[in-house]
Amino acid sequence: MKTNTNCCSATASPCDTSIAELPRYYPRQLITPDDLTLEQNYFRDRLRRHNRLLHGWGVVCGALVCPVPNPNAKGSSDRFLPWQVQVQQGYILGPYGDEIIVDCVRTVDIRTSGTTGITGEPCLDAPDPWCSQIYVTRDSTTTLFVAVKYRQCMTRPVRVMPAGCGCNDTSCEYSRWQDGYEIGVLTECPSCNDGPPTVGMNTDGVKLDLIPQGDVPGCPDCSCGPWVGLAEIAFDANGTITKINNSSCRRMVMSFSQFWWSNQGPKPTIKQLVSPTITAGTSGVAMTLTGTNFRCGATAKFDNPNFSVASAYVKDPQTMALMVNVSSDAKSADASPNIAVMNLDGIGSDSFATNIKVTDAPAASASGTRAVLTTAKTTKKTQKVSTPTKPE
């Protein structure tokens, strides 16, 4: 953790400038740092504008302000350290569309103007070795407010190659920009943080059905400033924290990260079974089953044992192709068997009465059978008569 006197800088208001161009690269082009920086700023500006105009700004999650436990507490009166509060981890969208990621628990002394942090740095509450803490006299009759804003910090200094032939050029340049934030202790709630929403509200509170109503809304400006309020703090003359209100000066932005549902597979329904006239004892009869909510891997089954589904293939949620085997025991009386579809999630359809037409298998005639037997006997007798005799 560092004081607010470092190499971090606040983001300029995106309402003042809007980058609408980016470099076009081509072969053998001489690329300068301005070209690469312009490309980065182009996409960052687009993301900020998207967040600001579509999602809004405020606290998305976390960033609760809490008292700091006293490790040497002897009773209930000194269980918290005086003059200090902690800002928990959280994610905030700034009024300019910046992402503010508080990835560590940060301790803030309310007698100072605040502190800064760099996202991704080790979570250590170490004072800045170059600057001492500057305390401000606080009146216990006043109310303080903890707020946060985005800051961009320069990190990783490297030596710069000398421009000439001199040997005394030891200048450095920072090689990285890193996202950071500043937690401030303010004497009043930041503007646009303490008022009610201007859209989706009536005398009964928040009404989401009121949002898509009214005239064409105007695009919001950046007049609210960079701060996002987190909490209102009250204290006594000894610095004991008497109240922390995480609601009175906190603007929440709507998020769908906690919105989800457990879906349930729909019930399949059968509308029609297209089938040709079938002769009993036929295998591999192609049929087409139409309906709704057929899922991949679904199976079909007849309630008559003389009809069996050899294979079922779901072409789309409304069509299933079947290959059906019909037993030789099936008769015309077995027409119109019921069929049902079962999806792999265990949800099945109601039984559907089909209109399958079955014709009996042709029976062999009795005269034909006798003729075959007679021929066989005649052949055997002829073979016996034509047997040659032994020579004398």
94: pLDDT confidence band, cut at 50, 70 and 90?
very high
Q: What is the pLDDT of residue 67?
A: 93
Q: What is the pLDDT of residue 369?
A: 43
213: pLDDT confidence band, cut at 50, 70 and 90?
confident
Of the candidates 300, 337, 295, 340, the one whose C-alpha atom is nearest the C-alpha of residue 318 is 295
Q: Which structure tokens are listed for 13?
A: 């208001």
What is the value of pTM for the model shown?
0.71
Mean pLDDT for the chain overall: 83
Q: What is the pLDDT of residue 374?
A: 40
- The average pLDDT across 57-85 equals 89
Amino acid identity at 214: G
Give me the CATH code for the 269-359 domain, please. Answer: 2.60.40.10
* pLDDT tops 50 at residue 385: no
Report domain extents, the chain. Answer: 8-245, 269-359
C-alpha to C-alpha distance for 291 and 286, rounded to whole angstroms? 17
Q: Give the dihedral sign, CA 41/47/53/58.
A: negative
Q: pLDDT (tens digit, 9 = 90+) per residue, 118-162?
A: 998 888 766 666 666 788 888 888 899 999 999 998 888 898 877
Q: What is the pLDDT of residue 261?
A: 85
DSSP alpha helices (H): ranges in the chain?
33-50, 366-385
Of the candidates 242, 239, 114, the one whose C-alpha atom is nearest the C-alpha of residue 184 is 114
